Amino acid sequence: MNLIQPILAVLREAADLTSRIQNDFITPATWEKKDKSPVTVGDLAVQALVAARLEETCPEIPLIAEESADLLLSEDGERFLAILLQYLEKYLPGITAEKIVGWISRGKNDDSLKGAPCFWTLDPIDGTKGFLRKEQYATALALVENGEVMYGFLGLPNLTWQKETHDFSMEKNEAGKPSGSLLYAKRGEGTWISTLDGSDFERLRVSDHADPKDASVLRSVESGHTNLSQMDILCQQIGVTGVVAMDSQAKYAVLAAGKSDLLFRLISSKMPDYKEKIWDQAAGSIIVEEAGGRITDLDGRNLDFSLGSMLLDNRGICASNGELHELALEAILDIHA
């Protein structure tokens, strides 16, 4: 089965959907989950849409996804379902509240699929706080086979690839919105990028910077996602002066395009036992690797996607252009043991 074209079509639909929701609301309808992180009507709408399309395209492949339909069964669920029905009717004519709950429930976010030989993993809106700020966010989808990511897709509605300059832009077009970017990677076949409006794809390569003085580091905007004090020390240790803060797996696109060189997810002192969720890393990891980069945990171990919804055998994230990876791991060992 040729998965690339059908999945690219789904990501374009998802980008249209999230852009509509983002533009219609000053603050999209939002809940706070048990872990205190936000979930919006956009997260739930995209998960329902993507799950529905995957059910049509490859119903035999299960899905591990971030969101739960439990939220829709709460006291506030009826209000949210009404909004979801309004937005999803354009893409899924004849939908019902029951179908929405069923599609969202198709994405398991527990360990019931641990050890599954093949599954999709989805983050419908990676970088929800960036989405709420109308800044960077991503729809991230990946196919995992026997613990290895084989396909990765990123839809980036607010980060536009400029073919003329081979760089990214956050400028809005004449219609008042960015045209966005679409990336995919297939194991052994490279990483490719286009604008969301359908221009030709071109291949991406990481930078060849081997001197840290020429390099920059990508980090999360949210302080809860990393250890900012150790990040500053780490950059000094490596000798990197440029630091770029950005939400979501959009950072992996920037790294894969050679526009930055290092990316870290250090362990926050507030959550010393935190384990990365697979939907936060799967798509981005293959996007970087197939562009010639390298990604490991903070101890230099390969990421293991075979253990359910979390990277249980890994600690944090270190991604690079490859040239600077060993230098980064040595510096991490010194300060983040």
In order of start, what are the domains of the chain with their CATH numbers? 212-335 (3.40.190.80)
Dihedral sign for Cα atoms in the order 13, 16, 21, 22: positive
Which of 32-41, 72-81, 202-211 has the largest mean confidence?
Answer: 202-211
Task: Give residue 283's pLDDT.
Answer: 98
Confidence bin at 224 (pLDDT 50/70/90): low
| Helix intervals (H) in 159-317 | 228-238, 250-256, 282-289
Say which DSSP state 216 is in.
Answer: E
pLDDT at 327 over 80: yes
Confidence bin at 268 (pLDDT 50/70/90): confident
Q: What distance in Å separates the CA atoms of residue 48 and residue 102, rounded to the nearest whole number?
A: 8
Say which DSSP state 317 is in.
Answer: E
Burial label, 334 (beta-carbon count in 10 A; 0-12, 13-18, 19+)? exposed
Q: If residue 14 lies in a helix (H) or strand (E), which one and from where to where?
A: helix 4-24
pLDDT, one tens digit per residue, over 4-43 is 999 999 999 999 999 999 888 767 778 777 777 888 999 9
Secondary structure class of 194 (helix, strand, coil): strand
pLDDT at 303 over 90: yes
Q: What distance in Å separates the CA atoms of residue 35 and residue 218, rounded to the nearest whole number?
A: 25
Q: Which residues are catalytic?
A: 43, 128
Backbone angles phi, psi at 240, to 5 degrees: -95, 135
- Kindly write down the DSSP assignment for every residue of 105-171, as one continuous string: HHEE-SSTTTT-SEEEEEEEEE-HHHHHTTS--EEEEEEEETTEEEEEEEEETT-EEETTTTEEE--
Dihedral sign for Cα atoms in the order 186, 191, 196, 201: negative
> What pTM did the predictor assign?
0.95
- The 3-class secondary structure across 40-59, one letter per residue, is EHHHHHHHHHHHHHHHHHCC
Q: What distance in Å separates the CA atoms of residue 307 and residue 312, rounded to the nearest whole number?
A: 7
Dihedral sign for Cα atoms in the order 5, 8, 14, 15: negative
Contact 111, 56 (CB under 8 A): no
Q: What distance in Å separates the CA atoms of residue 17 and residue 91, rounded to the nearest whole number?
A: 9
